[in-house]
């Protein structure tokens, strides 16, 4: 939904500031926000029919901070209902319908930050805010060929955002480039007395020259089976080329993998299932619950009410073990490189539980490598950056992800910025012939 009145008011204020010589980097730059972030003057529907008329009289902290930076809120952007709480079977699980991928509108833009990714990839806004509980920034970024940042848990305040999982939810920027995402992250990171989980830490970009000197010595953990064993036939070649390009800027690869005996998908599902069912218990047990769109999601939310305390606590114990494993892994490597998604964007009508759509828990016949990095990284609260690395044989974007220790966002963004200075995948735009492409405008 376009926020016309608010955008015009903020744009006029930005024009006046520009005439005074104000040089704030986001001043006057329009953006969109996922519709789980409260914003005055616009509905905040959480993508769900029961909340279609919901409004708030104050801004979420992330939006308030962007307002202070002079940015212009141009739109509230579509999302999967309740950010996918309970699980869902079809991309159409949204008040606004399925997110259409600008590269091919018969394909999905990914969930649950579907509108944020589509708006950036389609050139409607230079950047947007998304959120991630387990993959909701990463998957849309990979499917739409944009750069998305999942911050460390606690770096960005969640005050004023719909809660799905108190111990997993994170808000981050989605943009064309790492440099643009860094500008946004600098604006929204930091302390917030209204969010008790806020770390109080800020984000400051690194000097590119210092990063260039470090890249040859940077230890990059990589498991070749992430592509060899798990990538779809359409995506495999492009992902391999992307890794080769990355190796040219950071050549020191080491082998380091996640523990093979932890069920990352069930672990994260148990945590956000139990927490989400508690958050939405009144809705689940109320009269408007049947207004939700996806039958599987309704069944999942009901079932989550019955998750046993012992199962939740066991998942939290395993989570602590996982965090310790990451600590050990980062003694051997500085960052972890893997695929953003091992497949390209799914068809709008394709069930999301179809074979090959998810690979968080690979079958025993395949080496797991680091293919479970999205749920594992979210469970550990670690930062990640997802970035495009080319196009698959079906014409759809593919991307990689880079994960680092807690609060290593400056390093992650600097590495991908260096990669994007040597490649042009991030500059590609839907609907333009390859030979006519020009570099994408940046903030």
**Residue 394 phi, psi dihedral angles, 5° rounding:** -90, 10
- pTM exceeds 0.75 for this model: yes
- Residue 358 above 60 pLDDT? no
The CA distance from 51 to 81, in Å, is 10
Enzyme catalytic residues: 34, 112, 136
Name residue, tokens 């999905």. 108
What tokens appear for 173 in the block? 């920027």
Q: What is the torsional sign of CA 6, 177, 36, 323?
A: negative
pLDDT of residue 436: 34
The alpha carbon of residue 61 and the mean position of all alpha carbons in its chain are separated, in whole angstroms, by: 18
Confidence category of residue 440, pLDDT binned at 50, 70, 90: very low
- Residue 245, exposed/middle/buried by CB under 10 A (0-12, 13-18, 19+)? middle
Pick from 297, 365, 351, 260: which is nearest to 81 by CA? 297
Confidence category of residue 439, pLDDT binned at 50, 70, 90: very low
The CA distance from 384 to 405, in Å, is 9
In degrees, to the nearest 5, what angle opens at C-alpha 317 toward C-alphas 255 and 379? Answer: 55
What tokens appear for 100 in the block? 């259409």
Residue 422: half-sphere exposure toward Cβ, Cα within 13 Å: 15
What tokens appear for 31 in the block? 């953006």
Residue 33: which H helix or E strand, with range?
strand 30-34
Is residue 415 within 8 Å of residue 177, measured between CB atoms? no
Report H helices in 136-216: 138-144, 178-188, 208-214
Is residue 385 within 8 Å of residue 147, measured between CB atoms? yes
- Residue 294 above 80 pLDDT? yes
The CA distance from 211 to 90, in Å, is 42
Report H helices in 167-287: 178-188, 208-214, 225-228, 233-249, 264-279, 281-284
Helix axis angle, 178-188 to 409-422, nearest 10°: 160
- What mean pLDDT is predicted for residues 301-318? 98
The CA distance from 5 to 53, in Å, is 18
Query: How many other C-beta atoms can be found within 10 angstroms of the C-beta atom of residue 291?
Result: 15
pLDDT per residue as tens digits for the range 95-154: 999 999 999 999 999 999 999 999 999 999 999 999 999 999 999 999 999 999 999 999
Confidence category of residue 433, pLDDT binned at 50, 70, 90: low
Helix (H, G, I), strand (E, B) or coil at 403: strand
pLDDT per residue as tens digits for the range 217-266: 999 999 999 999 999 999 999 999 999 999 999 999 999 999 999 999 99
Pick from 263, 221, 270, 223: which is nearest to 363 by CA? 263
pLDDT per residue as tens digits for the range 365-406: 789 999 999 999 999 999 999 999 999 999 999 999 999 999
The CA distance from 347 to 65, in Å, is 36
The CA distance from 157 to 230, in Å, is 35
pLDDT of residue 364: 64
For residue 170, give every residue at least 6 positions away whose Cβ sits within 8 Å of its Cβ, in sequence order, or none: 131, 132, 133, 137, 150, 151, 152, 153, 155, 156, 158, 378, 381
């Amino acid at each position: 939904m376009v926020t016309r009145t608010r955008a015009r008011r903020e744009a006029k204020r930005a024009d006046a500031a520009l005439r005074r010589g104000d040089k704030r980097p986001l001043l006057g730059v329009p953006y969109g926000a996922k519709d789980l972030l409260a914003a005055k003057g616009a509905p905040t529907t959480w993508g769900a029919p029961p909340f279609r008329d919901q409004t708030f009289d104050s801004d979420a902290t992330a939006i308030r901070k962007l307002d202070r930076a002079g940015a212009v809120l141009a739109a509230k952007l579509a999302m999967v209902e309740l950010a996918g709480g309970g699980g869902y079977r079809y991309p159409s699980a949204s008040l606004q319908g399925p997110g259409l991928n600008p590269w091919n509108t018969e394909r999905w833009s990914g969930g649950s930050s579907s509108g944020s990714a589509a708006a950036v990839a389609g050139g409607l806004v230079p950047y947007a805010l998304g959120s991630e509980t387990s993959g909701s920034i990463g998957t849309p970024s990979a499917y739409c060929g944009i750069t998305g940042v999942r911050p460390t848990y606690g770096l960005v305040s969640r005050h004023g955002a719909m809660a799905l999982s108190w111990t997993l939810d994170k808000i981050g920027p989605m943009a064309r480039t790492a440099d643009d995402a860094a500008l946004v992250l600098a604006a929204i990171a930091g302390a917030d007395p209204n969010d008790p989980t806020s770390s109080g830490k800020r984000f400051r970009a690194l000097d590119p020259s210092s990063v260039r000197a470090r890249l040859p010595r940077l230890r990059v953990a990589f498991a070749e089976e992430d592509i060899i064993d798990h990538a779809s036939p359409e995506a495999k070649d492009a992902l391999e080329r992307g890794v080769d390009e990355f190796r040219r800027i950071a050549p020191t690869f080491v082998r380091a993998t996640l523990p093979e005996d932890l069920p990352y998908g069930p672990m994260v599902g148990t945590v956000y299932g139990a927490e989400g069912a508690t958050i939405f218990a009144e809705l689940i047990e109320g009269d408007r619950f049947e207004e939700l769109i996806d039958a599987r999601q309704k069944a999942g939310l009901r079932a989550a009410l019955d998750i046993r305390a012992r199962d939740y606590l066991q998942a939290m114990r395993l989570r602590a073990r996982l965090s310790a494993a990451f600590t050990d892994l980062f003694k051997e490597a500085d960052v972890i490189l893997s695929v953003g998604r091992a497949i390209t964007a799914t068809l709008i009508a394709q069930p999301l539980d179809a074979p090959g759509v998810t690979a968080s828990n690979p079958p025993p016949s395949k080496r797991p490598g680091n293919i479970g990095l999205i749920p594992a990284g979210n469970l550990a609260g670690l930062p990640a950056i997802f970035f495009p690395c080319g196009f698959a044989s079906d014409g759809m974007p593919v991307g990689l992800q880079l994960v680092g220790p807690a609060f290593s966002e400056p390093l992650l963004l600097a590495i991908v910025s260096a990669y994007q200075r040597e490649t042009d995948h991030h500059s590609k735009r839907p609907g333009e012939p390859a030979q006519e492409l020009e570099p994408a405008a940046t903030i």
